[in-house]
Amino acid sequence: MPAIPAGAEIAVVGAGTMGAGIARVAAAAGHRVSLYDTREGAAARAIDAIRTDLDRQVERGKVTRGDAEALLDRLHAALHLDVMGRAKLAIEAIVEDRAAKIALFRELEQLVADDAILATNTSSISVNAIGGALKHPARCVGMHFFNPAHLMPLVEVVAPLTASEEAIETVMATARAWGKRPIRVTSSPGFVVNRVARPYYAEALRTRSEFFSGVAEIDAAMTESGGFRMGPFRLMDMIGNDVNYAVTRSVFEAFAYDRRFAPSLLQEELVDAGRLGRKTGRGYYDYGHAAVDPHAAEAVPGPPPRAVVAYGDLGVAAPLIALARARGIAVDERASEDPRIEVEGVTLKLTDGALATEHDRVRPTVLFDLALDYERCPRIVIAAGIDDAQARSAVAAGFFQALGKRVTPIGDIPGLIVMRTVAAIANEASTMLGGALGDETIDLAMTLGVSYPLGPLAWGARIGLPHVLAVLENLCRLLGPDRYRPAYVLRMRALAATQR
């Protein structure tokens, strides 16, 4: 099916961040766009904000003045909903509430032409439920953009059971014409991105509330070790804790209250207190004028080792050996079925989800966390067991500091921070495999939709699925199966990998 022609009118209802961004995308593609919001003056203010941003882009030479003015000329603040009747495509970007969306579309379908498409930008609500409540459900489709809509390339085109193939394919083609990368997904809870991304927030919240790890330490681990663009707490503050909490609740309810999607009481308390993040000036961080950004704790300088012994295949952590040699540390490599690094009587091991205290039964151990790139990452997170923890941590810190890394010691928690989160994300992604969704589509969605540094399934393969499975099984054993039960596909792939 062809895309909606560039000259056709587009209606956008909801002039918040997402609605304004979608309107900007459509206008940039050559459409006349009517932007409407029930809040008086909201649409006009949104267009003014777009104008201010375009002025900055012109000053930087990224946009010509002529293109900016042409885009703005195509944006119009609608004072009444009935002016949307000329639209060939009406996109809803209002509050994440099923009843409100259904009420809006029932009104819109009375206004627009019979061949107009109604698209919802919902991030988690069932499009089947929205379309099924309309008189003409065949033209209701999901068109989920990501923030900021004018920059993020992904669009999830949600194909509910109620929609016609013509409407779905028209929206797919239109998204491509607008310079986006659409992927077709079914109307399942959270679709792809918001479902697979749940553990990114959930594990941070659980680590903070259950193990009293610091917000700054968790964010630093995820960005400076894990390579994510923004830590989970900074990201929730940017999204809005109310919005993030609402999406989590929606997915939780849609999955019949499956405990692996359970919302965090910590986040609920912040929402109840009005600490919604940047938009209110305070969330997990303080955004006031006098606020001082907290810094992640770092280990005091430890003694650099002259020599270490590396046992077995360190897999994803193997770059540490080359880095050690490059820093003048003598490395003695020995064969072993138990991969580890021995430094002055202390064993350093990549976390497998078990506690360092448990590893101590075999030999004195400090666990280190997963990193996206051990050669280039600026920070390493470590955890020691109960016995002689300070002295062992000093030895481990000395080794990693000698490699040019900042070192953050944390408590002896299962899976540490990055490994625990990545394993949970890869596991959730594995539950979605099948049908039209393959590894490449899911990984593409996560890298384009939320800028993950690596697709979760590709990352799981890089770590080694047997190791990911071991992490999940240890998390199940220590923290309970509700959160971490391994997906069937992941378990089967891990078994196949061990038999090669």
SS (H, E, C) the chain: CCCCCCCCCEEEECCCHHHHHHHHHHHHCCCCEEEECCCCCHHHHHHHHHHHHHHHHHHCCCCCHHHHHHHHHCEEECCCHHHHHHCCEEEECCCCCHHHHHHHHHHHCCCCCCCCEEEECCCCCCHHHHHHCCCCHHHEEEEECCCCCCCCCEEEEEECCCCCHHHHHHHHHHHHHCCCEEEEEECCCCCCHHHHCHHHHHHHHHHHHHHCCCHHHHHHHHHHHCCCCCCHHHHHHHHCHHHHHHHHHHHHHHCCCCHHHCCCHHHHHHHHCCCCEHHHCECCCECCCCCCCCCCCCCCCCCCCCEEEEECCCHHHCHHHHHHHHCCCEEEEECCCCCEEEECCEEEEECCCCCHHHHCCCCCEEEECCCCCCCCCCEEEEEECCCCHHHHHHHHHHHHHHCCCEEEEECCCCCCCHHHHHHHHHHHHHHCCECCECHHHHHHHHHHHCCCCCCHHHHHHHHCHHHHHHHHHHHHHHHCHHHHCCCHHHHHHHHHHHHC
CATH architecture of 307-410: 2-Layer Sandwich (3.30)
Judge whether residue 49 has pLDDT over 90.
yes
Judge whether residue 436 has pLDDT over 80.
no
Contacts of 109 by beta carbon, 8 Å cutoff, 6+ apart: 118, 134, 135, 136
Judge whether residue 427 has pLDDT over 90.
yes
So what's the pLDDT on residue 264? Answer: 95
Judge whether residue 317 has pLDDT over 90.
yes
Judge whether residue 434 has pLDDT over 90.
no
So what's the pLDDT on residue 290? Answer: 86
So what's the pLDDT on residue 9? Answer: 96
pLDDT confidence band for 210 (50 / 70 / 90):
confident
For residues 301-327, give the mean pLDDT.
Answer: 96
Judge whether residue 499 has pLDDT over 90.
no
From CA 326, how far away is CA 315, in angstroms rounded? Answer: 19
So what's the pLDDT on residue 156? Answer: 97
So what's the pLDDT on residue 189? Answer: 86
From CA 442, how far away is CA 429, in angstroms rounded? Answer: 7
Most trustworthy range by pLDDT among 246-255, 417-426, 430-439:
417-426
For residues 345-356, give the mean pLDDT.
Answer: 97
For residues 373-390, give the mean pLDDT.
Answer: 94
CATH topology of domain 10-187: Rossmann fold (3.40.50)
So what's the pLDDT on residue 358? Answer: 96
Judge whether residue 30 has pLDDT over 80.
yes
Radius of gyration of the chain, Cα coordinates, nearest whole angstrom: 25
Distances from the Cα of 79 to the Cα of 42, 63, 297, 317, angstroms? 10, 29, 52, 59
Asked if residue 148 has a cis previous peptide bond (ω within 30° of 0), the answer is yes
For residues 258-275, give the mean pLDDT.
Answer: 95
So what's the pLDDT on residue 70? Answer: 97
Query: Helix 488-499 vs helix 465-479: angle between axes, to the nearest 10 degrees?
Result: 130
Q: Which two tokens stand for residue 179?
A: 């310079």
So what's the pLDDT on residue 336? Answer: 96
User: Catalytic positions, please?
Assistant: 144
Domain locations along the chain:
10-187, 192-295+417-450+481-500, 307-410
For residues 256-278, give the mean pLDDT.
Answer: 95
For 132-167, give one letter per residue: b (16+ CB within 10 A) or e. Answer: ebbeebbbbbbbbbbbebbebebbbbbbbebbbeeb
So what's the pLDDT on residue 300? Answer: 93
Write out pLDDT tens, residues 114-172.
999 999 999 889 999 999 999 999 999 999 999 899 999 999 999 999 999 999 999 99
For domain 192-295+417-450+481-500, say whether CATH 3.30.1490.20 is its number: no
Contacts of 496 by beta carbon, 8 Å cutoff, 6+ apart: none
So what's the pLDDT on residue 452? Answer: 97
Judge whether residue 500 has pLDDT over 80.
no
Q: Which two tokens stand for residue 488?
A: 């069937």
pLDDT confidence band for 1 (50 / 70 / 90):
confident
So what's the pLDDT on residue 190? Answer: 87
So what's the pLDDT on residue 466? Answer: 97
Judge whether residue 292 has pLDDT over 90.
no
For residues 357-379, give the mean pLDDT.
Answer: 96
So what's the pLDDT on residue 437? Answer: 81
For residues 455-469, give the mean pLDDT.
Answer: 97
From CA 238, how far away is CA 232, in angstroms rounded? Answer: 10
Write out pLDDT tens, residues 75-100.
999 999 988 899 999 999 999 889 99
From CA 293, how far away is CA 217, in angstroms rounded? Answer: 12
Write out pLDDT tens, residues 55-68.
999 999 999 999 99
Task: Look over the chain and give the mean of its residue pLDDT values, rounded to a whole number.
Answer: 95
pLDDT confidence band for 389 (50 / 70 / 90):
confident
The residue among 107, 195, 108, 211 whose CA lies nearest residue 427 is: 195
